Amino acid sequence: MDNNDNNNWRVPETRVSYNNEDDSITILAELPGIAKEDLDLKFLQNKLTIKGETGDIRFRKVFVFRDEPDIDHIEANFDLGLLKLVVRPKQPEVIKIPVK
């Protein structure tokens, strides 16, 4: 008997799409069988990781962003198995430099 629990995981049929617009990127992920409470969204070094685990279902997808996103204003909604994320680029901070 194999003690490796990973052999028992089932990866659901998922569809992930994204739409790159001028002011945002919208990511849609169909996650059948995964509840909102089982989702884990993390952002680190321009990488967004979407992970879902419940019972015998496991899902993981990583998105790498070329431009630095505004991580403080990422919108995430989950309803009836559909995850929608809207990510906008970080606006450059204008710093006034005093002349002496």
As a whole number, the mean pLDDT across the chain is 84
3-state class of 72 per DSSP?
A: helix
Report the domain count for the chain.
1
Integer Cα distance of 43 and 6 in angstroms: 25
Is 42 part of any domain?
A: yes
Closest CA to 51 of 93, 83, 74: 83
Is 57 part of any domain?
A: yes
Closest CA to 69 of 26, 15, 17: 26
Whats the size of the chain, residue-wise? 100
The per-residue pLDDT for 8 is 58
pTM: 0.75
pLDDT digits (tens, 9 = 90+) for 25-63: 999 999 888 889 999 999 998 899 999 888 878 888 999
Integer Cα distance of 52 and 35 in angstroms: 8
Is 10 part of any domain?
A: yes
Structural domain boundaries, residue 30: 5-87
Q: At 74, which CATH number? A: 2.60.40.790
Provide, rounded to the nearest whole percent, the portion of the chain with pLDDT above 90: 40
Is 100 part of any domain?
A: no
- Helix (H) or strand (E) holding 56, with range, is none
CB contact at 8 A, 26 and 85: yes
